[in-house]
Structure 1
Amino acid sequence: MLFENWKENLAPLIDKYKGRKHPLHYNNTYELLIMVILSAQDSDANINSITIPFFENYSNLEHISNASIEEITPYFTKVKNFSTKASWILEIAKRLKTDHNIPTNLTDLIALKGVGRKSANVILRETNQKAEGIIVDLHVIRVVPRIGLTPKYEDGNKIEKLLIQQLPYEIWDEIGMAFSFLGREICRPTHPKCDVCPINTHCNYFKNLNK
């Protein structure tokens, strides 16, 4: 497909998921920041569960900055790599001091410990900031090669770079999360529901099924 067709071809997918909130159950930017750090290599459902008591006791970065690592770590023991993530969170809290200092651009976000490009792009999208990249999570990594947008890679940053080259800027803010929701709900790892996919006519996987 030609570059100029992608916006039109992916429009049904964006229409289906546009504006839908990320599955992490955050209430503000502070909570979102903490949750994206914790969610690396873990499930959104688990992070939604374990952060409830944490946020009840630590409602902002200032509260965390006044705590010790021994005080906050027990809240995260059910999270993968919890000790490392707890240290990152404490370091960020001591560095930023208040929620007002949470960055609103990609460069400053990825300078924080535990915040990669994927997490930064999620924060920018969810807080309605200007898009500086495309969200690429594990679902996107699986889905976009199926569609035919990129070769199959395990490296999310490599996938993002290729998507940025392929897709018009106007859809960057929504397309990554739309791909993610597609992967969660329709384009499953096994037995994908191709018949109900809004972009199946533009998908290489679906075309190959019908050869």
Structure 2
Amino acid sequence: MLLFEENNNWETKLLPLITKYKGKKHPLEYANTYQLMIMVILSAQDSDANINKIAPAFFNRFPTLESIKSISLEELYPYVSKVRNFNTKSTWILEIAQTLQTESAIPNNLNELIALKGIGRKSANVILRESNAPAEGIIADLHVIRVAPRIGLCPESKDGNKIEKQLMQLLPQNLWGEIGMAISFLGREICRPTNPKCNQCPLQNDCHYPLKTL
């Protein structure tokens, strides 16, 4: 038996989830789009909690994109050394600063964002969502990759881009801006990898996960 259904009125079924988390700020503790962009880049393969921890010192030293564009990598390293793959990420950040020059040049569309080093579709979708820009895709972070197939939205895959594409084909565009982050919060707070709190889930009546436990 298939544990996902391509046409099963998911738009209506997902409304309680979207209502629960609509507009909830991303766990990264940023103050503006510049900070969000830098933190999203640093958070790849790392935890939001770790990035939140190192961010205050980073932004105290580099309060604007302009303050980064003329420095050396060696000046950047002490502020990101506790971040995974900080050498590569520092190179990306410096290149972005030199390319954009000013914060006002940070793109507000998907294609221009993913053209920047270190920003893939997931990161770009986060930036667009948090900036209240029109959604051009769906956030597919590690939580979405795990939870979307579990609840029955799509087949299992470890490929975030594949999960995103499947969700975009399944769901109307008016849901794109919120559904990814809503599923992510669901995965963080309720639909945990082990011992999920199914009795607290707004999708408990439509989720396919209980079928796997029968």
Superposition TM-score, scaled by structure 1 size: 0.97
CA distance in 2, matches of 1:140, 1:86: 27
Instruction: Tell me the CA shift for residue 4 of structure 1.
Output: 6.7
Secondary structure, in 3 states, of the residue corresponding to 1:115?
A: coil
Give matches, 1:1-80, under 5 Å.
1=5, 3=7, 5-80=9-84
The one-letter amino acid of 2:92's match is W
Instruction: Tell me the CA shift for residue 170 of structure 1.
Output: 1.0
CA distance in 2, matches of 1:183, 1:4: 21
Instruction: Tell me the CA shift for residue 200 of structure 1.
Output: 1.2
Hey, which bits of structure 1, 4+ residues long, moved more than 2 A? 1-4, 206-209
CA offset digits 1:86-145 (Å, max 9, x no partner): 010000000000000000000000000000000000000000000000000000000011
Out of 120, 124, 129, the residue aligned to residue 128 of structure 2 is: 124
- Is the 2:6–2:154 Cα contact (8 Å) retained in structure 1? no
Instruction: Tell me the CA shift for residue 66 of structure 1.
Output: 1.8
The one-letter amino acid of 1:79's match is V
Instruction: Report the CA distance shift for 1:4/1:149 in structure 2 as closer, same or farther (over 3 A).
Output: closer
> Does residue 183 of structure 1 match 2:171?
no
Aligned CA RMSD, in angstroms, stands at 1.1
Partner of 1:170: 174
Secondary structure, in 3 states, of the residue corresponding to 2:205?
A: helix
Higher helix residue share: 1
- Is the 1:118–1:137 Cα contact (8 Å) retained in structure 2? yes
Partner of 2:119: 115
CA distance in 2, matches of 1:24, 1:35: 7
CA distance in 2, matches of 1:57, 1:77: 14
Partner of 1:104: 108
Instruction: Tell me the CA shift for residue 149 of structure 1.
Output: 1.0
Secondary structure, in 3 states, of the residue corresponding to 1:198?
A: coil
CA distance in 2, matches of 1:60, 1:4: 47
Instruction: Tell me the CA shift for residue 3 of structure 1.
Output: 3.4
Partner of 1:84: 88
- Is the 2:129–2:177 Cα contact (8 Å) retained in structure 1? yes
CA distance in 2, matches of 1:137, 1:90: 25
User: Percent of aligned pairs with the same residue?
Assistant: 64
> Does residue 149 of structure 1 match 2:141?
no
- Is the 1:201–1:207 Cα contact (8 Å) retained in structure 2? no
Q: Which runs of 5+ in 2 are unaligned?
A: none
Secondary structure, in 3 states, of the residue corresponding to 2:209?
A: helix
The one-letter amino acid of 1:200's match is Q
How many equivalent residue pairs?
210
Superposition TM-score, scaled by structure 2 size: 0.96
Secondary structure, in 3 states, of the residue corresponding to 1:202?
A: coil
The worse-fitting range, judged by mean Cα deviation, of 106-115 and 200-209 is 200-209
Instruction: Tell me the CA shift for residue 208 of structure 1.
Output: 4.1
